Amino acid sequence: MQQPAAGLGTEWSDLLFAVAEQLKVPLTVIARQAELGEMTRQEDAGHLQIVRTQADAAMQLVDSYLLGLELLRSQTALELEPVSISSTLVDTAHALTRFAKQYNVDIAVDVGGRYEPVMAHARGLRAALLSLGFGLVEAQATPTSGRRTPRLTLAVHRTPHGIIAGVYGTNDSLHADVWQRALRLCGRAAQPFTGLSVGSGAGLFVADTILKSMESSLKAGTWHRDRGLAAAFQSSQQLRFV
C-alpha cells in the first residue's frame, strides 16, 4: 500500500499562483510574435519557430504542474521502479536544446561512467528534470560577474548518499540560502529568487514537488564550477540487498 508522500507542504493554490506567473513569460512572447506576423504579413519561419518552442515549454510546464497537483491532492507517493538515470538525462537534454537556443544557452550532458538504474518513476523523473531545465535556462542568460559562456549541464555522479542527478548552470547565484528562501516565498512573491531571472520559479517548484513524491527533493549544489539543483536517488541494486 502506498504511503503519503513526505514533505509535500506547498499548498496547491500557492503552486498554481507560481505557475500562472511563469506562464506570462512564454505567452507574452507568443502574443508579440503573432502581432509582428500580422503587421508584416509574412510567414517568417524564424518567428513561427519561436512561437512553437515557447508554446511547447508552456505546455510542458502545465503538464508537469498537473502531475504535481495530482500528487499534492492525493498525498500519495509515486510507485517507484528501476529507471535509467543516464538515458533520462540525455533525453531531457535533447528536449531542452531548442528552447535553450532561443536564449543562446548551450546544453551539455555529463554522464561519465556507468550507472545502474535508480529507483524512481519514469514519467515523474522526466517531468521533473524538464521543468527544472526550462526553469534554469533563462537564469543562465542573465549576465553574471564571471561572464562565462551561458551553459546548462545535466549531470550525474555517485556519492555515499546515493546517485545524484541535477541541472547546473554558469549563473553562480543559486546558493543554498537562495533556494531555501525561494521555497518559503513560493506563491507569495512574483520573483522569489534573488539574483536569478527565472520569473516565479514555477518550474523549479513543480520539479521539487514531483521529486518529493519519489522520496527525494531538490537541493542546491555545485558541479565543477557550475551551480544548480539536484536530487539524490537510491540505486535499484542497493534496494535489492537491503
Q: Which of 11-44 are b and which e, b meaning 16 or more Cβ less than 10 Å from the residue's Cβ?
A: ebebbebbbebbbebbeebbeebeeeeeeeeeee
Number of other residues whose CB lies within 10 A of the CB of residue 145: 7
Please state, in angstroms and rounded to a whole number, the distance separating the CA atoms of residues 4 and 82.
20
Task: Name the CATH topology of 12-240.
Answer: Heat Shock Protein 90 (3.30.565)
Please state, in angstroms and rounded to a whole number, the distance separating the CA atoms of residues 93 and 65.
20
Give the pLDDT confidence score for residue 210 in this predicted structure.
93
Give the pLDDT confidence score for residue 15 in this predicted structure.
74
Contact 232, 161 (CB under 8 A): yes
The three cell numbers of residue 149 are 559562456
The three cell numbers of residue 22 are 511563469
Residue boundaries of the structural domains of the chain: 12-240
pTM score, whole prediction: 0.81
Give the pLDDT confidence score for residue 240 in this predicted structure.
47
> Helices (H) and strands (E) in the chain — how many of each?
7, 7
Contact 114, 149 (CB under 8 A): no
Give the pLDDT confidence score for residue 56 in this predicted structure.
84
Please state, in angstroms and rounded to a whole number, the distance separating the CA atoms of residues 105 and 194.
20
Please state, in angstroms and rounded to a whole number, the distance separating the CA atoms of residues 20 and 42.
31
Give the pLDDT confidence score for residue 44 in this predicted structure.
62
Report angle CA 160, 166, 61 to the nearest 5 degrees.
145
Contact 91, 129 (CB under 8 A): no
Please state, in angstroms and rounded to a whole number, the distance separating the CA atoms of residues 10 and 164.
24
Given a cut of 50, the residues of the chain with pLDDT beneath it are: 1-9, 145, 240-242
